[in-house]
């Protein structure tokens, strides 16, 4: 993330990426390249949390743990 923040200095500049195997191209902004992996990770965390609750595990928030925060000790 640090390298990306140092490299991307014009967040609304369009970046063209070519798929290394299939060859198709995507035009996205530097801002999208930074934010998409973060929001995608939170999407999967939500799926895991919901599945755990459906399977009968207690809600994580009731134990005082916030699933959206990374422990700074790691």
Helix (H, G, I), strand (E, B) or coil at 15: strand
Supply the pLDDT for residue 22.
92
pLDDT tens digits, one per residue of 10-67: 989 998 889 899 999 999 998 998 888 888 888 888 888 888 888 887 665 555 666 6
Helix (H, G, I), strand (E, B) or coil at 21: coil
Model confidence, pTM? 0.56
Asked if residues 48 and 40 have their Cβ atoms less than 8 Å apart, the reply is no
Supply the pLDDT for residue 57.
78
Whether 70 shows a pLDDT value over 90: the answer reads no
Whether 69 shows a pLDDT value over 60: the answer reads no
């Amino acid at each position: 993330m640090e390298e990306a923040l140092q490299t991307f200095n014009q967040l609304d500049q369009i970046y063209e990426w070519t798929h290394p195997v299939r060859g198709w191209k995507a035009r996205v902004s530097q801002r999208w390249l930074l934010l998409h992996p973060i929001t995608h990770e939170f999407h999967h965390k939500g799926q895991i949390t919901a599945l755990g609750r459906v399977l009968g595990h207690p809600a994580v928030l009731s134990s005082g743990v916030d699933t959206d925060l990374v422990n700074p000790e790691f």
